[in-house]
Amino acid sequence: MKFLYLHNAIDSNRLCSYDTITAMEIQDSPYLKQLFVCVNKKEQGKSCCADKQGELIRDRLKAYVNDHGLKGKVRVSGSGCVDFCEQGANIMVYPDYKWYSHVTPADLDKIIETELKPLVPALDAGSSGPKPVQAFLFDLGNVLIRFDHMLAAKRLTNRTAIPPLALYQLVYESPLVTDHDEGRISTRQFYEGVQQQLGVKIPYEEFVDVWNEIFWEEKEMTSRVEWLLQNYPGYLISNTNRLHFDYLRRWYPVLEKLNGWILSYEVGALKPKPEIYQRALEMIKLPASKVLYIDDRADLIEAGRRLGFQTHRFTGWQAFSRDLQTRGIFV
């Protein structure tokens, strides 16, 4: 929205000159992290953070930021009253939505260790911080493309008298899925096995639609991945099956932009088995220490870490972007 206003009041019937007022904008925070320390002061005798050394805590955190090259990347600010005065001093950390209460100066070393120190190495070229990233290795489900197996379970329920949760357990927690995802049985064998498991007959084309229509795209993440792929090689490593992957390639163009795919049904091994990660390293042709592996499951991240990968536990595109910034990559 733009506003125009009259400068020349002599002739109010004629617009003589005007300025443009820029509209409000919403944009990403310029800071990796913001710490708001309550320094509110109340009338004498009333509990408040100012009387619990809030200003001293704020000043010491600011000094750490200034002394360790974090100025402009991390912001420490004093805040007004945030309630919970009896729990002061209070510190709020954004965008992590953390709240520290009953903070004293003696707690600052722990807060700095947790909130600030991890950001220092990436901004200090002389430090022994994170190694430079030369390639990315992305998980597929709930990293590049979101999914929910219960969508299929609910649709299959219409063919049976089995409640969705019980149906989910019958299908997705059965050896059928593991055999299918590791390529030991064909798509047709899997289809027939599911029918037998559920005790129903389902037309093959209907089954394929139900099985596949569980995905959706989060544009904020895929747009960031597409930017990264213009500057870095990127690969996919996924526990998946041919039905799903053929469908995903057809509907989600970001997959075709990747440099390669390492798929469990082709390798014959599901993550966290070492074989699938070794196949990834053979394809990428870089040491694991130069590759950032992104996955949403903690057990799979741990498996990658044991093999020497740099890792990021995916919880959303916002946290992923912040992690990239600490590594000097701005998307």
pLDDT of residue 113: 87
Contact, 33 vs 119, CB < 8 A? yes
Provide the percentage of residues in the chain whose pLDDT is more than 70: 89
pLDDT, average across residues 308-325: 93
Q: At residue 123, does pLDDT exceed 60?
A: no
149-212 has CATH 1.10.3470 classification: no
C-alpha–C-alpha distance, residues 277 and 9, integer Å: 74
pLDDT of residue 302: 94
Query: Domain 33-123 adopts which CATH fold?
Result: Glutaredoxin (3.40.30)
pTM value surpassing 0.75? no
Domain range annotation of the chain:
33-123, 135-145+217-326, 149-212
pLDDT digits (tens, 9 = 90+) for 250-261: 999 999 999 999
Q: Where are the beta strands (DSSP E) in 124-259?
A: 135-138, 145-147, 215-217, 234-238
**Homologous superfamily (CATH) for 135-145+217-326:** HAD superfamily/HAD-like (3.40.50.1000)
pLDDT of residue 13: 43
Burial class of residue 72 (count of CB atoms within 10 Å of its CB; 0-12, 13-18, 19+): exposed
pLDDT digits (tens, 9 = 90+) for 196-229: 999 999 999 999 999 999 999 999 999 999 999 9
Confidence of residue 65 (pLDDT cuts 50, 70, 90): confident
Contact, 263 vs 243, CB < 8 A? no
pLDDT of residue 327: 86
